[in-house]
Structure formats: structure tokens, C-alpha cells
Amino acid sequence: MDAGQQRSEEPREVLRAKYVDYCSAQVADLLLYLSPDEIYLLAQRAYREEGADEELTYVQMVRIATDWLSRKISLPPFDLWLADYRAHPERYEEYFLGLWESETEVPVDG
């Protein structure tokens, strides 16, 4: 069985985890292009749009910027991504951060 056939037989929860990982990588790539000042401005604007006005920590700013970016960028819906992933899995390998592996681990009862 070749790698393409093996990927097409992956369980849906693995494929869903890979999709989330792919989307996370897309947002992370965009964040890397932003300077700390740009993250600050983006987070402050998004935070004010929510009606808040308290001081934010840098971690909160990055979280808010990440949330805002994930809503603004165009990511494919799961079913469309899945069809393309199954047809061309090699196109996606470089985008996986490895997060999908921890999402699909089966907990061991102790």
C-alpha cells in the first residue's frame, strides 16, 4: 500500500485534526509577518470593537490578533479541504505543525 492509499484510509478524526492543524499553520504564518506594533494595533482595534477598553497583556493581544485573523482570512471548509488533501496530500505536508498528532492520541485509562 502506498502513502496516498494509506492517507485516504485515515480515520475522520485524524483528517479533522489535520485540517485544524493546517488552518492553525495558515494563521500562524500570517502572525509571523506582523511586527509587535502591528499585533498591538490589530488587537486593540479588535478589542475595542468588542466594547472593551482595559489594558491588555501581550499574550492577550496575540490571542485576540489570532482570533481576528482566523475570522478574516479565507480558509477552505473542511469538505473542500478534505477532497483536495486526498487528491494531493503532498501539498499539505509542509503546513502541518504536528498538532494533529496530539489531537488524535487515545488516552490510556489508568
46: in domain: yes
108: in domain: no
Question: Is 0.85 surpassed by the pTM of this model?
Answer: no
4: in domain: no
68: in domain: yes
30: in domain: yes
Q: In terms of residue numbers, what domain contains 67?
A: 10-103
Q: What is the DSSP string of 50-106?
A: TT--S---HHHHHHHHHHHHHHHS----HHHHHHHHHH-GGGTGGG--SHHHHHTPP
Position 104 scores a pLDDT of 53
73: in domain: yes
Domain total of the chain: 1
The tens place of each residue's pLDDT in the chain, 110 residues long, gives 444 445 558 899 999 999 998 998 999 888 888 898 988 888 888 888 877 777 888 888 888 888 888 888 899 999 999 999 999 999 998 888 777 776 555 443 43
Position 106 scores a pLDDT of 44
1: in domain: no
